[in-house]
Structure 1
Amino acid sequence: MTRSTPRPVHPQFLERWSPRAFDGSVLDEETLLTLFDAAHWAPSAFNYQPWRFVWALQGDANWDALLGLLVPANAAWASKAGALVFVLSDRLFVSPMNGETSPATTASFDAGAAWASLALQAHAMGLHTHAMAGYDHARAPDVLGAGERFKVEAAVAIGRIGNREDLPEAMQKREFPSPRKPVEEIAFAGKLTEG
């Protein structure tokens, strides 16, 4: 399936998608650090940069712990990714003016911008990413060292695309770039007109 749009959107947005079929090859640490470098240039409120990343490379000492957080259906295919990353956000904002802390009201939004930057950098490097909400939300904060301060936002599999035929049949049918709602269903002039 080829994505298209009637507007002059940069091709990277149409070409980037989230496969489940990875080839099992390992990523090197420098490649992963390049993705984090791209992510850390994302915009954030007061330039606070509330995102954090906890990562493991395929087969390293942290791999089993991070893979073990995924729900079984996700772990089955994500086990062939080259890296696993968990995206976290800081729940506290520390004022650059006076050092006072307050709840970070835009941390999830800002972490989402960092994740999008990481995904687009991965695409530019010939890699693929697939973000997941399917992980053990109760255990993740402890395993990842998040404590009460950091919110675990999502898990991300990163790697080189593999063969669709290696997936279970039900997943093979969904292994293509997904469509999007028309812009008119998500953008409203002046006031939201649904719900």
Structure 2
Amino acid sequence: MPRIPDHPVDPLFVDRWSPRSFTGEPVPDAVLQSAFEAARWAPSASNAQPWRFIVARPGDAEWADFVSLLLPRNRLWAERASALILIVSALDVERRGEVVANVSHSFDAGAAWANFAHQALLLGWHTHGIGGFDRDAARELLGIPEAFAVESMLALGKQADLAGLHADFHAQESPNDRRPLVQTVFSGRFGAPAFSPQRNAA
């Protein structure tokens, strides 16, 4: 069933979703470079660009390490991806010659990941963010400095049919919906409707 937005948006935003069924076909360098280029232009506080991406593809020496980081249930589907990507973000930023804590490092890394996901979709590739993996093991196996937070993993691939997907995930393999704006956008204080009929009438 297609997603139907309540208000006008570019189809890109409702067409992006997170399948688990992937073909496993090789992803060209040009696709990754384009998606990372989109991520590069994400907004960030003080232009700190705190995000970093660590990539592995099937056949790489590190591929087995990346797959081993996944929780067993995620491994059932994500090991068929064309790439696994770990996202980390720098904890500190330099402002006016002083190194200080960057309180928005995760927020900004999320903006970069969204840019990556949308550009990948424009090129015909899907992404699926993964929170279920061993962050401590990732830091050790992949040599991530303590100055970086381990944020998330993502799987990238071309969408496949259900034949190659573990049966446990078949029922979930469709785009999900979103809560309405009235539940997420407030005016002035938490819980106060931002788009009341009276405001629209004015």
- 8 A contact 1:29–1:57 mirrored in 2: no
* Equivalent-residue separation in structure 2 for 1:8 and 1:185 (angstroms): 18
Q: Distance in 1 between matches of 2:182 and 2:15?
A: 21
* TM-score, length of structure 2 as denominator length: 0.91
Contact 1:26 1:81 in 2 (8 A): no
Which amino acid in 1 is paired with 2:158?
Answer: R
> Which entry has the higher C-alpha Rg, 1 or 2?
2
* Secondary structure of residue in 2 paired with 1:193: coil
Contact 1:27 1:159 in 2 (8 A): yes
Corresponding residue number in structure 1 for 2:197: none
Gaps of 5+ in 2: 193-202
In the other structure, the counterpart of 2:155 is 157
> Aligned residues, how many?
192
Taking the aligned partners of 1:182 and 1:170, their CA distance within structure 2 comes to 29
The reply on whether 1:135 has 2:133 as its aligned counterpart is: yes
Q: Which residue of 2 aligns with 1:84?
A: 84
- Amino acid across the alignment from 2:77: W
Write the letter of the residue equivalent to 1:37.
E
- Larger deviation, residues 44-53 vs 28-37: 28-37
1-structure distance, mates of 2:143, 2:158: 28
Please state how far the C-alpha of 1:162 moved relative to its aligned partner: 0.9
Q: Match of 2:135, SS?
A: coil
Question: Could you say which residue in structure 2 is the equivalent of 1:105?
Answer: 103
Rounded Cα–Cα distance in structure 2 between residues aligned with 1:27 and 1:123 = 13
1:108 positional shift: 0.3
SS in 2 for 1:65: helix
Displacement of 1:72 in angstroms is: 1.2
Asked whether the equivalents of residues 90 and 105 of structure 2 are also in contact (C-alpha less than 8 Å), the reply is yes
Identify which range, 163-172 or 35-44, moves more after superposition: 163-172
Matched-pair contact (CA < 8 Å) for 1:141–1:151: no
Contact residue 23 and residue 159 of structure 2 kept, 8 A: yes
In 1, distance between residues paired with 2:147 and 2:186? 35
Superposition deviation, residue 165 in structure 1? 3.0
Structure 1: segments with no counterpart, 5+ residues: none
Residues in 2 aligned to 1:94 and 1:158: alpha-carbon distance in whole angstroms:
32
Structure 2 partner of 1:124: 122
Structure 1 range deviating more: 157-166 or 185-194: 185-194
Separation of aligned partners in 2, 1:154 and 1:188:
28
Q: How far is the alpha carbon of 1:5 from its aligned partner?
A: 1.5
**Contact 1:27-1:58 at 8 Å conserved across structures:** no
Aligned counterparts of 1:12 and 1:72: Cα–Cα separation in 2: 31
The one-letter amino acid of 1:166's match is G
Percent of residue pairs identical = 41
Q: Which amino acid aligns with 1:9?
A: V
SS at 2:69 equivalent: coil
Residue 178 of structure 1 is aligned with which of 176, 181, 187? 176
Offset of residue 166 of structure 1 = 2.2
